[in-house]
Chain A
Amino acid sequence: MSGLAATFRDELRRIFANWPVFSVLVAAVAFYSLFYPQPYLNEALRDVAVVVVDQDQTVSSRDLSRRIDASPDVAVVSVLPDYPAAQRQVFAREASGIVVIPQGFERDLLSGRPSPVALYADASYFLIYQKVALAVSGVTRTLGAEVMAKRLVAQGTDVAVATGVADPMPLTAIALFNPQGGYASYLLPAAFILILQQTLLIGVGLAGTLSRDGPPPPATPLARVLGKLLAYLALEAFIVPFCLVAVPYLYGIPRIGGLFPLLVYAVLFVLAVGALGLVVAGTFRTSYAVQLTMAAIGMPLFFLSGFSWPAEAMPTPILWLARLVPSTSAIDGLVQIGQMGASLADLRQPAFILFALAIGYGGVAVALEARRGQGSPLR
């Protein structure tokens, strides 16, 4: 027991005495929490530029163009006579969509024939494509329903019945969670978990590989691993609430979950990552190996988590691999608790996986520690 306490104290002391370790575990987290959210702070794209190619040049075509411009998501930046000029603007990224209103638009509309409109939207950036496609199709659908209702009324149908026929069962889509559809609110809760994981992995990896000034306090391998894990837990008791509660609050990211389930997940997450960090330190041996590989693997681990790219679209072996990484289950659990308000009872599986990872990696860390102890009896 004294070995555990001594290791705990020794490890905490080393974290604060070693600038590289401290800078990763504390300074880098503080820096990232300010720096990383910057691109997304405007939350939503507004007034995405589109070009209208008006080949009809009538009151109706100009009305359609005005309606498109009036929608909050897109703005008509220019009305051009031909498609190649508009295409050039899209190539130059001055516009993200082209609405072509063909000749005869008004004539067909008045004579009761369908008046098709074409939209060419820039799909080399998906967020832009979605915004443009959704905005323009909303405008044409509204216009279409109005036109059809007018025609029915002109034929002598009752107004209420006319709208009922034109649009017999309107679909209302309700966005649960993140009601504004903001990009920061979508990305940051998950991204902060990955930042926590990577900084803790590198920090623990560095603490375990940098040369130390004196021999470590005597302790059994198990006590040594437990002592270190408790030291990380003590440190992260300040870092995790900062990252997952204080910073999202400052950026106005909606948070609806309770604090107790969050605490349970946070503890399991820190233990699993800390234990994995000890395994990384034990297998990589040099601090540079830890730094370089962990820097390269961070972003891929985020995409592996199934958060921004659904797990259903990944091959099964990749899903198994993903489960070995703590961030996968932690993002599952913490986002669903924090942003979606799930209860702990609904999220037993990811918590269980984190627990198993903590035990598994902890066991490997003890074995590595025991082998190292045998190799050099002086340590």
Chain B
Amino acid sequence: MRGRDDIRFGFELVFWREVRWLKRRPLLLAMTTIVPAAIMALLMMVFGAGLATKLPVGVLDLDGSELSRQIVRTVDATPDVRVARHVADLAEGRRLIEAGRVYGLLMLPKNLERDVLGARRPEVVFFYNSQMLTAGNVVLKGVNAAIPTVASGITLSVFTAQGIPAASAQSALQPVPLQISPLFNPTLSYVFFLLAALLPAILQIVVTTTLAYSVGLDVETPYRLRVLGRLGGGLFPALAGKLLPYTVLFLLLLGLADAVLFGWFGMPLQGSRWMLVLAAVLFILTCQFIGALLALLLKNTASAVSLATLLTASAFGFMGIGFPRFGMNAFSQGWGALMPGTWFLTARIDQTVRGAPLDLSLKPVLILAIFALVLGALMVFYLDLMRRRIDRQEGAMRAAVAGEGAA
């Protein structure tokens, strides 16, 4: 029988063997350091601006009046839109949109000024590219803000012409003004919304596939698994020593990403740091366990990595960041609920930008804890099964050798 010290010794042995392995195997080292770090840096550069501003639109000014020029100037002055092209007809404008050179076309009809002054309510039309959802919405927002500004100026001048004092005319302009406050992300920054969610989603893919690969190398052949078990003084401490170096490395990567998000991009940290750290540890562990279990069950590294890719590479859509979960069909809601990233992002958004009360984050963190426990228990159970099988085989082998010796 081995004692407690042996087990700790065995754990350390496997831990340091894994660290040496990482140093010797460039692929493992790359997947735990430079590859995820480079991908995160790339995404940070892509979304670094935070806001899409001054997106190009075209103008078809059929009026050519003082009013139409004022409208074009007002549209161009919004932060969202830049008037990039003046076109001669609708066909040219449409072609520019189709070719992706502008995201929208503002059409100011003939006799606009005359009809406005004659209270004939001429229509100003804005065609926008709704296939590119983000850009389309940005240019729509800009034009939506600019046209009413010009329109209320006209209303105001009609009022004052009628002898209504400017102050009361101003108040009559907007009987029900709506003050909109975006909660939790006042500047509507894509850094806090999308980038902050993408980085953990990338990590979920990297952690799961890398662990499927690393554990796969050990369990692919029964011989290697036995070596690992012997080194660790039992399969369980062996596996713990095997997994821990990755937990540390991936948590460091997540910490690095967060350091940039909070330090450089100034993302608000409204909630509890401890809850955030706890959720992160459980998230990384759960992803590791999924990868490790795939390797243990499939016993074929290539298949384990393939399956891990298949499961995680599409997971972001199910996490409900772009399209919210409550709008999904039942299957997608159920599948999303099985992804650790779904719950980690819920807790993370709660405890960073939202600053939600702590008790509301208990549920996602608890679910992550249950994931980790159940997957961990499954792994121990399965390893125990394997150990017995190996023991039996060895016992039989020893008996056979002993039998031969006796004969």
State the A residues within 8 Å of B (CB): 20, 23-24, 28, 31-32, 35-36, 38-42, 44-46, 64, 88, 90-92, 109, 112-130, 133, 136-137, 140-141, 143-144, 147-148, 151, 160-161, 163-179, 181, 183, 185-187, 198, 286-289, 291-293, 295-300, 303-304, 307-310, 312-315, 317-318, 321, 332, 335-336, 339-343, 346-347
Contact = CB atoms under 8 A, between A and B. Distances in A.
B140 A173 contact: yes
Interface string B192-225: 1110001001100110011001000000000000
Contact of A313 (B49, B94, B178): B49
B39 A296 contact: yes
Contact of B324 (A45, A198, A312, A313): A45
A312 B54 contact: yes
Contact of A119 (B49, B180, B205): B180
A124 B271 CA distance: 14
A308 B133 contact: yes
Given A133-B182, A289-B27, A295-B313, 18 more contacts: A41-B332, A109-B176, A117-B176, A118-B181, A121-B183, A136-B180, A141-B176, A144-B177, A168-B119, A169-B147, A170-B124, A175-B128, A175-B136, A177-B130, A304-B42, A308-B132, A314-B46, A342-B99
A340 B131 contact: yes
Given A38-B328, A312-B56, A341-B98, A151 B323 contact: no
B10 interface: no
A205 B137 CA distance: 39
B45 A314 contact: yes
B403 interface: no
A317 to B, nearest CB: 8
Contacts of A117: 176-179
A121 B131 contact: no
Contact of A183 (B151, B206, B323, B329): B323
B178 to A, nearest CB: 4
Given A91-B356, A165-B119, A339 B131 contact: yes
B126 to A, nearest CB: 5
B256 interface: no
B336 A151 contact: no
Contacts of B137: 130
Interface stretch (B166-174, B244-252, B392-400): B166-174
Given A36-B314, A123-B186, A314-B49, A172 B124 contact: yes
Contact of B131 (A32, A178, A314): A178
Nearest to B357: A91
Residue of A300, A309, A343, A347 ringed by the most chain B CB atoms within 10 A: A309
B309 A295 contact: yes
Contacts of B329: 38-39, 41-42
B172 A340 contact: no
Given A140-B176, A291-B305, A163 B213 contact: no
A126 B98 contact: no
A18 to B, nearest CB: 10
A310 B47 CA distance: 10
Nearest to A346: B99
A59 to B, nearest CB: 15
B112 interface: yes
A38 B332 contact: yes
B55 interface: yes
Interface of B: 27, 30-31, 35-36, 39, 42-43, 45-49, 51-56, 94-95, 97-100, 103, 112, 116, 118-138, 140, 143-144, 147-148, 150-151, 154-155, 158-159, 168, 171-186, 188, 190, 192-194, 198, 201-202, 205-206, 209-210, 213, 301-303, 305-306, 308-310, 312-314, 316-318, 320-324, 327-329, 331-332, 335-336, 349-350, 353-354, 356-357, 360
Contacts of B151: 167-169
Nearest to B113: A169
Nearest to B185: A123
7 contacts: A117-B177, A120-B181, A127-B322, A176-B128, A300-B202, A310-B134, A310-B135
B122 A342 contact: no
Contacts of A39: 317-318, 320, 323, 328-329, 332, 336
A296 B205 contact: yes
B42 to A, nearest CB: 6
Contacts of A109: 175-176
A127 B148 CA distance: 24
Contacts of B322: 127, 183, 187, 308
A342 B335 CA distance: 37
Main secondary structure of the interface of B (DSSP, over half): helix
A178 B322 CA distance: 17
B175 A115 contact: yes
Nearest to A293: B35
A296 B173 contact: no
A150 B325 CA distance: 42
Contacts of A115: 175-176
B324 to A, nearest CB: 5
B132 A307 contact: yes
Given A148-B173, A151-B172, A176-B128, A40 B155 contact: no
B12 to A, nearest CB: 27
Nearest to B321: A125
Contacts of B135: 310, 312
A112 B55 CA distance: 39
Given A164-B119, A296-B205, A299-B202, A125 B324 contact: yes
A335 B130 CA distance: 12
Contact of B46 (A118, A303, A332): A303
Given A28-B310, A292-B213, A300-B39, A116 B176 contact: yes
A128 B182 CA distance: 11
A178 B130 contact: yes
Q: Which 9 A-B pairs have the closest CB atoms?
A: A164-B119, A123-B182, A342-B98, A175-B130, A346-B99, A147-B175, A295-B309, A123-B185, A144-B176
A371 B336 CA distance: 47
Nearest to A332: B100
B126 A169 contact: no
A299 B324 contact: no
B100 A336 contact: yes
Nearest to B40: A300
Contacts of A304: 42, 46
B116 A169 contact: yes
Given A171-B126, A309-B190, A137 B205 contact: no
Contacts of A313: 49, 51-53
A289 B26 CA distance: 10
B45 A318 contact: yes
Contact of A173 (B51, B143, B331): B143
